[in-house]
Every structure is written in C-alpha cells, then in structure tokens.
C-alpha cells in the first residue's frame, strides 16, 4: 500500500505543477516503501535526497509561476515553502547522525500530511477566481 494516493481533486490545471505534485507523491511513497522494507542507510538516504531536491525545485518553479501570475498571496505562500523546506532539511540532516527507520517513517507521514494540506489550500489559491 502506498502512503499517498493521487486524487484528481489535487489537479490545479497547470500542467507543470500538476506533474511535479504527482512526482512528489512518488518520491514520498518511495521513502515510505524503502523504510517499510527496512532498506539500508544508502538506499533510504538516496530516496530522501531525491525527495528534498525535488521539493526545493518544485517550490522554486511554483514561486516563479506565482510571480508571473502576480499572485497576491505570493509572500505568505513562499514563507510557508521556506518554513517547510527548513523543517525537511533539518530532519534529513538529523538522519546523517542517527539512522532510524521509525524516525524516517515519521517524517514520511509528516510530509504526506503537509503536502495534502498544502495542495488543497495554498496551491489551490493559484487557480481560484479572484484569488
Ligand atoms: Fe505551494
Ligand atoms: Fe505545490
């Protein structure tokens, strides 16, 4: 069972962002799957590294899109991206000192909870009429 199941209600109608959201779901599911099968440090670190890189790249693309659209919620939305990326960066750095499947599982659930909430609120504002 994957941790996250994609639903069409997450679609924004902006192709590049929708593609990346689905890709992020895949990355989170891979972290979760490798963790569930108690994969070794290198394998899990690889998945976590990929998730972190894609998350950072996605935030950059989305912020660019918002600037182009002159989205009025840009500052608050970017601040939320920055805050969450800091949280993930801190968590990933912590695993370098202490590798613990239970903690990584906790992080996967945390990212799952955040991304579902974020796409349906902050990201949804990108396409709502009148913002
Ligand atoms: Fe966002
Ligand atoms: Fe997004």
* Domain boundaries along the sequence of the chain: 14-126
- Nearest-Å Rg of the Cα atoms of the chain is 15
- If you measure from the C-alpha of residue 123 to the centroid of ligand 1, how many angstroms do you get, rounded to a whole number? 5
Taking a C-beta distance cutoff of 8 angstroms, is the pair 34, 43 a contact? yes
- Residue in the structure block whose two tokens are 């779901």: 25
Ligand 2 center from residue 12 Cα (angstroms): 9
Domain 14-126 sits in CATH 1.10.3720.10: no
Nearest residue to 125 (alpha-carbon basis) of 44, 42, 14? 14
Q: Single out the residue of 49, 36, 122, 37 nearest to residue 91, CA to CA.
A: 49
Could you tell me the maximum CA-CA distance found in the chain, to the nearest angstrom?
49
Kindly report, residue by residue over 87-118, the tens digit of the pLDDT.
999 999 988 878 899 999 999 999 999 999 99
CA of 38 to the centre of ligand 1 (A): 31
pTM for the whole thing? 0.94
């Amino acid at each position: 069972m994957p941790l996250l199941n994609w639903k069409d209600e997450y679609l924004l109608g902006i192709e590049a962002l929708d593609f990346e959201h689905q890709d992020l779901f895949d990355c989170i599911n891979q972290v979760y799957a490798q963790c569930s099968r108690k994969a070794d440090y290198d394998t899990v670190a690889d998945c976590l590294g990929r998730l972190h890189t894609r998350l950072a790249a996605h935030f950059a693309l989305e912020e660019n899109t918002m600037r182009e659209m002159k989205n009025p919620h840009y500052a608050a939305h970017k601040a939320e991206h920055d805050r969450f990326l800091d949280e993930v960066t801190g968590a990933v750095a912590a695993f370098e000192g202490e590798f613990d499947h239970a903690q990584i599982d906790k992080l996967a659930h945390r990212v799952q909870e955040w991304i579902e909430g974020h796409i349906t609120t902050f990201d949804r504002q990108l396409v709502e009429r009148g913002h």
